[in-house]
Amino acid sequence: MANLHLRSTLSGMLPGTVRDRLRPVGHKVLGLMFAGKAAKAIKNCRDNKLPIRIIIGAGSDRYDGWIETDKYVLDICSPENWALCFEPSTVDAILAEHVLEHLSLEENKIALSSAFHYLKPGGRFRIAVPDGNRKDAVYHADVAPPADGHKMLFDLKSLSALLEEIGFVVKALEYFDEKDEFRAIEWKSEEGHIRRSVRYDRQENFRRGNLFFTSLIVDALKP
């Protein structure tokens, strides 16, 4: 933690233009470090016949039994990158919390098609994105493109249509409907933990009655 704090302090002392030039180098170094770690974890799952469960766009998320990846480990918009990491129909589960909204429609089609190709039949892709059917102003200002680099704002209808076009069967877990009413069913955290959910989020600045920050959450299942 001390090293992380020191690195952050030193980074803050550098001019922005220098940080921008150094960032790709840092990502390449991180990629070499974490790609090796992820490859080892995937091999261990194969060798020991353990389920292969990956987090894409993991950031700081770490969950037992899951292999975390980020763009510098697995570029989900690159079919070639997927092929370097996995064999077709070998991945048991994929988790993406607030990732797909950062992709364009075409990038989403590439990423979702690749996920479908590498999931096992019966495999689960749990997805959480900002919910375009949640209408309150504070939430909308935080999630509507181009806020925070977002390119897409899905609602259940548009996300389901995209997933079904790829071949997935969609099961809605948490969402606002077209009448701005919140809907949710029980889901198991061990099948893919979502922090920004009605069950786990407590960000007061997004509070709306008994709700805090909510996401559109679905399970996309490969038949």
pLDDT in tens, 22-76: 445 444 555 545 566 777 888 888 888 889 999 999 988 999 999 999 988 899 9
- Flag whether pLDDT at 11 surpasses 60: no
Cα of first residue to Cα of last residue in the chain, in angstroms, is 44
The CATH number for 44's domain is: 3.40.50
Q: In the structure, what pLDDT confidence band is assigned to residue 222 with cuts at 50, 70 and 90?
A: very high
Q: Kindly write down the DSSP assignment for every residue of 5-52, as one continuous string.
A: HHHHHHHHHS-HHHHHHHHHHHHHHHHHHHHHHHHHHHHHHHHTT---
What dihedral angle (degrees, nearest 10) is formed by the CA atoms of 186, 153, 121, 91? -100
Task: Give the chain's domain count.
Answer: 1
What digits encode the pLDDT tens for the residues 85-113? 899 999 999 999 999 999 999 999 999 99
Distant-in-sequence, close-in-space partners of 161: CB < 8 Å, separation ≥ 6: none
d(CA 178, CA 91): 34
Provide the domain limits for residue 92: 2-221
